[in-house]
Amino acid sequence: MATATVTMKELQSPVEPTWCPGCGDYGILNAVKRAMVQLGLRPHEVFFVSGIGCGSKLPDYIRANGFNSLHGRPVPIAQGFKLAHHDMKVIIVDGDGDNYGIGGNHWLHIMRRNPDITHIVQNNMVYGLTKGQYAPTSMKGYVSTTSPEGTIEWPVNPIAIALAAGATFVARGFSGDPKHLADLIAKGIQHKGYALIDVFQPCVIFNRINTYDWFRERIYKLDEDPTYDPRDRDAAWEKAHEWGDRIPVGVFYINEDAPTLEEQIPALAEKPLYQHEIPPKAEELEALKRAFM
C-alpha cells in the first residue's frame, strides 16, 4: 500500500460535476477521495472503470486514471485491466441498473473469481439518467414512469446475492454519511480480493420515497454492535435480509483466506502481464506465415 501524503486538493479534477443539487453521488465522490487520502493513494496508482449512468461520470470528477465503458460492461473491462496491470488499485464505479440489471451476468462471475478489485455500486433504486424508470432495486409497488400503477416485481437483494455468489468482502454504505462510507471504501481497497460496497444513494429528483430522511430513520451501523462478527457468514446472511424499520450498513462479511484470481495465475507471480514479452516474436510469426504459403 502507498505511504505518500495525498491531499483532497491533489485529487481535484478540473471537470465540474453536472449532477443535480443534492444528488447522493456528491457524497460518494467525497468518500472516494477521503479513502484515497486515508490510504495515501496517488492519482497514478488508481484506475477507475465506470459504466453508464449518473454516477458513472465519477471518473471525470476525480484526478486519477479512468475509463468510461459501455452500459453494464465495466466489470469485464476492470478484470482485463487488473490481469494486465495487477499492481494497480482497480475500482469499479457504476449504478444499480448498470450492475444489478444489464451487467448482472458479469457481476456473478467476478465474485466467484475473486480478483483484487473494489466495486462501488451507487444504489438509488431508480434509473435516474433516463428520467425515472423503476430499477432492479426499486421496492415492490414503486410508482415510476414505467410502473404507473406500481411495480409488481420484487427487488434484487445485492447483499444476499453477493454472499451466495462467493464474494469475499460484502459491505453497504450510505452517501449521506461520507465519513463512514470512506472508511468502508478504504477497507474494501485494502481487502485482498473482490470487495462489493453497495451504497444507498438518494436520487432527489426521481425517487421521492427513498430520501435522505427515509434512510436516516432506518439505517444502523453493524460496527456499533460488539456482538456482530463479519467473519460469520451465517450471521451475514441473516443481516442481509433485514429490511423495513431497521436496515444495517457496514461490513456484512469478510473472508481473508480466499486466494485472489491474480495469485492463482503463475505468470503474474514474476511481474505484471504488461511487462511480459507477448509471443510469438516477429520472426516466429513470419516463419509461421511462410509455412502456410
pLDDT at residue 164 tops 70: yes
Q: pLDDT tens digits, residue range 104-121?
A: 999 999 999 999 999 999
Cα 292 to Cα 68, 258, 283, 284, 285: the distances in Å are: 41, 46, 15, 13, 11
Tell me the residue length of the chain. Answer: 293
43 belongs to a structural domain: yes
293 belongs to a structural domain: no
Share of the chain above pLDDT 70, in %: 99
pLDDT score of 278: 73
Q: pLDDT tens digits, residue range 54-70?
A: 989 999 999 999 999 99
267 belongs to a structural domain: no
Pairing of strands 46-50, 169-174: unpaired
pLDDT score of 269: 81
201 belongs to a structural domain: yes
266 belongs to a structural domain: no
Q: Comparing C-alpha atoms, which of 69, 37, 36, 55 is closest to residue 120?
A: 55
Banded model confidence at residue 3, pLDDT cuts 50, 70, 90: low
289 belongs to a structural domain: no
Cα 280 to Cα 245, 274, 289: the distances in Å are: 61, 15, 12
pLDDT score of 28: 98
272 belongs to a structural domain: no
pTM (2 decimals)?
A: 0.92
Structural domain boundaries enclosing 103: 8-260
2 belongs to a structural domain: no
- 140-157 average pLDDT score: 94
What is the chain's mean pLDDT, rounded?
A: 95
Banded model confidence at residue 277, pLDDT cuts 50, 70, 90: confident
CATH number at residue 247: 3.40.50.970
Number of compact structural domains in the chain: 1
pLDDT score of 170: 99
More confident residue, 4 or 267: 267
**What count of other Cβ atoms lies within 10 Å of the Cβ of residue 166?**
15
Q: pLDDT tens digits, residue range 181-235?
A: 999 999 999 999 999 999 999 999 999 999 999 999 999 999 999 999 999 999 9
- Spatial neighbors of 225 by CB under 8 A, at least 6 apart, are none
Q: pLDDT tens digits, residue range 19-78?
A: 999 999 999 999 999 999 999 999 999 999 999 999 899 999 999 999 999 999 999 999
pLDDT score of 103: 94
